[in-house]
Amino acid sequence: MLTKLAASLTVLCATTAFAQHPGAQQHAAPAGDAAVVGTWAGTFQMQTSPGKMELLVARDSTWHVKMQLIVDHPFPPVDAREFKVDGKNVSWTSDLMGTACKAAATIDAAGAMNGELKCDTRTLAFSLTKKA
């Protein structure tokens, strides 16, 4: 059981390298959404396993979001669905290893996006900042 858990955490943490940028914006995003559009990068922590995380957010008439978790080696990026922005709160769902993982984050006064990605009983805490 412990070996299966360790293997699943390893694969979960090693989930991805961005292959391409989502579609370019064709229409102006609502004013509140504009603060979220762009490339976010930072770190995540799952138990004792640290790693890097990137979130690529674009918007035309709909959201186009890719998420990348980086540990040892690159894997394809995963799409985020049900992406929502409500003021300073951001949420989305991503499928990792056949599991729907729900993310919830808040953008603080300094502009950092801090949150958690919950996959069944596993929780990954992350902190991202927007790249200029």
Which CATH number is 57's domain given? 2.40.128.120
Say if residue 107's pLDDT is above 50.
yes
* 19-47 pLDDT, tens digit each: 334 443 344 445 468 889 999 999 999 87
Give residue 31's domain range. Answer: 2-130
Quick one: the chain helix, strand, coil %, rounded to 5? 10, 55, 35
Whether the CA torsion 111, 24, 91, 61 is positive or negative: it is: positive
Determine the pLDDT at residue 114: 98
For residues 78-89, give the mean pLDDT: 95
From 1-5, 32-36, 53-57, 125-129, the region with the lowest mean pLDDT: 1-5
Q: Specify the number of domains making up the chain.
A: 1
Task: Tally Cβ neighbours within 10 Å of residue 91.
Answer: 15
